[in-house]
């Protein structure tokens, strides 16, 4: 593409609502543009990157026998009612009525639609195994869309589904998909990790996430140093050395004491000269699916140094969305005190105790009276707990659950997720087949997603510098960026056009900056757009019989004789292994 015929408009400044580098850079390059919160137009350059990534995904899935189809984004309530997800999906599922007052939703995922599709065709185990996929636009009604495509409402996703005759075959399909995903992200050229994950509203009992590592990643990953364990913090079992120490202290008598003005755990630790680990805090949440109607308060006991893991809590309470923490007024209505002076003693609500608290003795909790605490608190002597649970967030330095050393922390952007579903959907939707004995069985299922648009941005979040984006060759909108410095010099211009034609003929996507602009402007734009290889063709170089090549990633420069430029570039291209 020649710049003069292209639609490329770059900006000097980032939009005010862009917080992370990739978002700023994609907007500055005109590659994405917001039309509403969480909804973006993909500009021509972005669409090229997206399509290239889609093709990698398509090729790798087809290699393993996965077949492409295309399902609708607008879906009828009736299908979602069969699995009860019309109710269970939470507010992320956008529902609406059409002109005939019928209920529909925008597809946030397609388990119901695909299960409906195959149940009409599959009759026998001979029709299995089957893997189907689509690459399509989806919509999730994110409450706070942010970071450009990272957490958008409308997005492009690849979703695949497997159907098998038994669990063994289903786990083979899962493994095949796992392998395909690894090939896909390797081809992409991204630094990624695979971690154990929560199954969320999708259901099922085994799932792993693929994360592209990046400082700004919304996900917190915990990985053992030997690589034998990796989990999203959301599901990472928490375990540390302290919690396993059983204290042999005698239980001292319960005692109230004054704690005027001590509102936080930090205040209390300072005043009592204890570490936060030795204190116990009580957090209050609503266990209700509709807190407006019915609060259903529950208390959570944790060590002062720990944090509640909202996903563990959501799963514990069997909720559809993450539970709401009670506000000050609600806490007072439950306990009679402000949140800084609350504790479990005397409350008539369910209390869940984190396992980190289980072995503590003679500890301190709020007394449910403003500015008062109890000390020498002991359970079960002083209060009753519903259950001891693993409810806290694991963190770096915690013990690896498999016993192999300590956890290391990473930030990641979730770009892929694979689930073994079992028969949750097929049973609910009556998707069955006749097995070898002529007996009707429910289909074993798996589902597998890749956030296409999110991945493309994540790649930039991982690969950029202060000057702009650094595209990996595999999905760069154009692979070679020719800066024609003297477009009015006929000889230079002819050479640039010749190179452009030759590279395109070799299948090497080429962008030719043929604008009548100063070199500085062209270099700045080339840095911003970040195509892998820059070719600088100017009057002076041409006079010396030379052209300059610059690799965007390394900044490495080399001069190449004019008459060998095409072959040098095509050699470089072959080395990229694309």
Query: Is residue 117 near a copy of itself by the rule CB under 8 A?
Result: yes
Query: Is residue 517 near a copy of itself by the rule CB under 8 A?
Result: no
Nearer to a copy of itself, 110 or 481 (CB): 110
Q: How far is the CB of 34 from a copy of itself (least distance, A)?
A: 10
Q: Of 115-123, 308-316, 429-437, 556-564, which part binds a copy of itself (CB under 8 A)?
A: 115-123
Residue 207 phi, psi (nearest 5): -155, 145
Nearer to a copy of itself, 89 or 188 (CB): 89
Q: Rounding to the nearest 10 degrees, give the CA dihedral for residues 423, 425, 431, 434.
A: 0
Nearer to a copy of itself, 96 or 257 (CB): 96
Q: How far is the CB of 39 from a copy of itself (least distance, A)?
A: 5
Nearer to a copy of itself, 119 or 373 (CB): 119
Query: Is residue 130 near a copy of itself by the rule CB under 8 A?
Result: yes
Residue 370 phi, psi (nearest 5): -55, 135
Strand partners, 412: 213, 219
Q: Of 111-119, 334-342, 413-421, 542-550, which part binds a copy of itself (CB under 8 A)?
A: 111-119
Q: Which of 3, 86, 139, 185 is the binder for a copy of itself (CB under 8 A)?
A: 139
Q: How far is the CB of 99 from a copy of itself (least distance, A)?
A: 5
CA angle 94, 96, 97 (to 5 degrees): 165
Binding mask 150-179 for a copy of itself (x = CB under 8 A): ---xx-------------------------
Q: How far is the CB of 453 from a copy of itself (least distance, A)?
A: 10
Total residue length of the chain? 578
Please name the helix (run of DSSP H) or strand (run of DSSP E) that holds residue 457, with its range, or none: helix 452-462
d(Cα 222, Cα 243) in Å, to the nearest integer? 19
Query: Is residue 521 near a copy of itself by the rule CB under 8 A?
Result: no
Structure tokens at 508: 């090497």
Query: Is residue 568 near a copy of itself by the rule CB under 8 A?
Result: no
Residue 505 phi, psi (nearest 5): -65, -30
Q: Which of 116, 164, 243, 444 is the binder for a copy of itself (CB under 8 A)?
A: 116
Cβ-contact 552, 534 below 8 angstroms:
yes
| 3-state class (DSSP) for residue 419 | strand
Residue keyed to tokens 């040098």: 568
Q: What DSSP designation does 326 have?
A: P
Pairing of strands 103-106, 74-76: antiparallel
Nearer to a copy of itself, 141 or 191 (CB): 141
Nearer to a copy of itself, 94 or 272 (CB): 94
Nearer to a copy of itself, 27 or 223 (CB): 27
Query: Is residue 13 near a copy of itself by the rule CB under 8 A?
Result: no
Q: Which of 87, 98, 124, 430 is the binder for a copy of itself (CB under 8 A)?
A: 98
Q: Of 91-99, 184-192, 310-318, 443-451, which part binds a copy of itself (CB under 8 A)?
A: 91-99
Q: How far is the CB of 184 from a copy of itself (least distance, A)?
A: 20
Query: Is residue 324 near a copy of itself by the rule CB under 8 A?
Result: no
Query: Is residue 507 near a copy of itself by the rule CB under 8 A?
Result: no
Cβ-contact 351, 380 below 8 angstroms:
no
Residue keyed to tokens 């080399």: 558
Q: What DSSP designation does 571 have?
A: H
Work out the number of other CB atoms within 10 angstroms of the CB of residue 535: 26
Query: Is residue 96 near a copy of itself by the rule CB under 8 A?
Result: yes
Cβ-contact 236, 198 below 8 angstroms:
no
Nearest to 309 by CA among 343, 373, 273, 352: 352
d(Cα 478, Cα 535) in Å, to the nearest integer? 12
Query: Binders of a copy of itself among 22-81, rule CB under 8 A?
Result: 30, 33, 35-37, 39-44, 46-47, 50, 65, 67-76, 78-79
Nearer to a copy of itself, 78 or 179 (CB): 78
Cβ-contact 80, 112 below 8 angstroms:
yes
Work out the number of other CB atoms within 10 angstroms of the CB of residue 333: 12
Nearer to a copy of itself, 63 or 167 (CB): 63
Nearest to 277 by CA among 251, 246, 302: 302
Query: Is residue 12 near a copy of itself by the rule CB under 8 A?
Result: no
Residues binding a copy of itself: what is the number (CB under 8 A)? 55
Provide the sign of the torsion angle of the four alpha carbons 46, 47, 52, 55, taken in this order. positive
- The residues binding a copy of itself (CB under 8 A) are 5-7, 9, 30, 33, 35-37, 39-44, 46-47, 50, 65, 67-76, 78-79, 91, 94, 96-100, 102, 104, 106, 113, 116-117, 120-121, 130, 132, 136-137, 139, 141, 143, 153-154
């Amino acid at each position: 593409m020649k710049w003069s015929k292209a639609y490329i408009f770059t900006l000097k400044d980032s939009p005010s609502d862009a917080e992370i580098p990739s978002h700023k850079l994609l907007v500055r390059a005109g590659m994405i543009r917001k039309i509403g919160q969480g909804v973006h137009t993909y500009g021509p350059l972005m669409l090229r990157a997206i399509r290239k990534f889609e093709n990698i995904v398509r090729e790798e899935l087809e290699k393993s026998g996965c077949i492409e189809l295309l399902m609708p984004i607008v879906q009828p309530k009736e299908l979602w009612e069969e699995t009860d997800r019309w109710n269970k999906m939470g507010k992320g599922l956008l529902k609406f009525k059409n002109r005939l007052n019928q209920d529909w939703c925008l597809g946030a995922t397609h388990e119901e639609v695909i299960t409906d599709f195959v149940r009409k065709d599959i009759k026998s185990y001979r029709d299995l195994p089957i893997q189907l996929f689509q690459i399509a636009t989806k919509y999730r009604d994110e409450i706070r869309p942010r970071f450009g495509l990272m957490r958008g409402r409308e997005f492009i996703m690849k979703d695949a589904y497997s159907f098998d005759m038994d669990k063994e075959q289903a786990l083979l399909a899962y493994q095949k998909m796992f392998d395909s995903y690894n090939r896909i992200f390797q081809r992409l050229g991204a630094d990624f990790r695979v971690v154990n994950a929560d199954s969320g509203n999708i259901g099922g009992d085994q799932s792993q996430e693929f994360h592209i590592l990046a400082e700004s990643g919304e996900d917190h990953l915990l990985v053992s140093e030997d690589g034998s364990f990796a989990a999203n913090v959301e599901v990472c079992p928490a375990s540390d050395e302290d919690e396993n120490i059983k204290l042999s202290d005698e239980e001292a008598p319960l005692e109230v004491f004054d704690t005027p003005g001590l509102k936080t755990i930090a205040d209390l630790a300072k005043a009592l000269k204890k570490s936060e680990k030795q204190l116990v805090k009580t957090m209050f949440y609503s266990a209700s699916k509709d807190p407006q109607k019915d609060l259903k308060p529950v208390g959570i006991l944790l060590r002062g140094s720990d944090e509640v893991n909202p996903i563990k809590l959501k799963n514990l309470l069997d909720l559809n969305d993450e539970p709401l923490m009670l506000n000050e007024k609600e806490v007072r209505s439950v306990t009679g005190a402000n949140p800084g002076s609350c504790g479990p003693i005397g409350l008539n609500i369910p209390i869940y105790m984190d396992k980190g608290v289980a072995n503590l003795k003679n500890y301190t909790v709020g007394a449910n009276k403003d500015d008062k605490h109890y000390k020498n608190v002991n359970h079960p002597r002083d209060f009753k707990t519903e259950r001891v649970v693993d409810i806290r967030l694991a963190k770096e330095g915690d013990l690896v659950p498999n016993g192999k050393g300590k956890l290391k922390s990473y930030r990641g952007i979730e770009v892929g997720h694979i689930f073994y579903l079992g028969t949750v959907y097929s049973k609910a939707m009556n998707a069955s087949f006749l097995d070898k004995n002529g007996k009707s069985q429910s289909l074993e299922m798996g589902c597998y997603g890749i956030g296409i648009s999110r991945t493309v941005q994540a790649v930039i979040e991982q690969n950029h510098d202060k000057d702009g984006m650094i595209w990996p060759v595999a999905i760069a909108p154009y692979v070679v960026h020719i800066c024609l410095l003297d477009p009015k010099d006929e000889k230079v211009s002819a050479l640039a056009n010749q190179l452009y034609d030759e590279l395109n003929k070799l299948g090497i996507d080429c962008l030719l900056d043929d604008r009548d602009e100063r070199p500085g402007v062209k270099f700045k734009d080339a840095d911003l757009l970040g195509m892998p290889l820059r070719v600088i063709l100017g009057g002076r170089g041409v006079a010396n019989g030379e052209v300059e090549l610059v690799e965007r990633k390394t900044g490495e420069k080399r001069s190449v004789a004019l008459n060998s430029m095409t072959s040098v570039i095509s050699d470089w291209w072959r080395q990229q292994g694309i």
